[in-house]
Amino acid sequence: MKFIETKKGTPDAVKISYEDYGQGKPIVLIHGWPLSKEMWEYQLEPLVNAGFRVVKYDRRGFGKSDKPWDNYDYDTLTDDLRTLIEELGLQDVTLVGFSMGAGEVARYFGKYGNDRISKAVLISGVTPYMAAELPQEKMDEMMDGVVNDRIGFLDDFGKQFFGVNLLSHPVSTPLLEYYRMLASFASGRSTRECMKSFANTDFTQDVVKINVPALIIHGSADKTVPIDISAEKTAKLMPAAQYIIYEDAPHGLFYTHRERLNADLISFIGSGKIDEQSIREETVLLPSNEALITR
């Protein structure tokens, strides 16, 4: 197991768990809330096989990283990302952030500019500013669920996350249980504090500083981070970015639309563009067990 340590020699030192595979142009994968680096299972092998070096890590408070009591603001989270990049000596990096992880991508440019970074990808991202668009009662409802019955909340959240009510993209019951387990490995404290961070952080001034080739991907059926309050507004702030809408895709499109996503990532990171004429519908192959279709 590999770790880097942020803020070494200080009371705020935190060990960050990471994995590093392959050779070639480096990609850093930043997971969403409330998962861990293991969410990238279906991207890892295709990206490595395409000739890239892939680094994925657990955000502080999640997965196998340390779980401090405080310091879950985006400045600190982005400092962790910066330390990882520096410690591994990465250059010419593509940052790929999913959901909450898109915030770290944006804040990196706000704090560090494009130093060491050559491309940026925002997938189902929370940018530019959730609090400005999402009703407060919705956030209060989520927080109440996390505080009073976190595992029960995660169970319901996962169904919306993967769009189990979308008959065109069902997911299996064991898969839902697996991702609930990954989310449960986060501490309750970090789950709550990070929710506050992604809900209340305004990334507008960070997003406009993304000055490298960028790709925005979002599902039109995302009920977790609705496209109209996130990607649509982010794309207007980044007119030079490529903006791809996955029709009928839920929030967790890294699984439901994994083949299309992997192909688009490989194309964009390799050549800097995606041929939108080649955009295709994807059939999701399920395990042999019966899929869960209930709401």
Active site residue 251: yes
Among 58, 79, 80, 222, which one carries the catalytic annotation?
Answer: 222
| Crossing angle between the packed helical segments 188-200 and 100-112, to the nearest 10 degrees | 60
Return the HEC string of 232-289.
HHHHHHCCCCEEEEECCCCCCHHHHCHHHHHHHHHHHHHHCCCCHHHCCCCCCCCCCC
Angle formed at CA 231 by CA 73 and CA 113, multiple of 5 degrees: 50
Distances (CA, A) of 34 to 60, 176, 240: 11, 13, 30
> Is 28 in contact with 92 (CB distance < 8 Å)?
no
Among 17, 36, 65, 99, which one carries the catalytic annotation?
Answer: 99
Q: Are strands 93-98 and 2-6 parallel, antiparallel or unpaired?
A: unpaired
What are residue 245's DSSP bridge partners?
218
Report the 10 Å Cβ neighbour count for 136.
9
> Is 230 in contact with 237 (CB distance < 8 Å)?
no
Q: Which residues contact 98 (CB under 8 A, 6 or more apart)?
A: 29, 30, 31, 32, 39, 123, 124, 125, 254
Look at residues 254, 253, 143 and name the one whose alpha carbon lies nearest to residue 197. 143
Cis peptide before 213 (omega within 30 of 0): no
Active site residue 206: no
Active site residue 288: no
Structure tokens at 81: 């990302």
Among 169, 218, 251, 257, which one carries the catalytic annotation?
Answer: 251
Please return the burial class of 278, using the count of CB atoms within 10 Å of its CB with bins 0-12, 13-18 and 19+: exposed
Which positions are annotated as active-site residues?
99, 222, 251
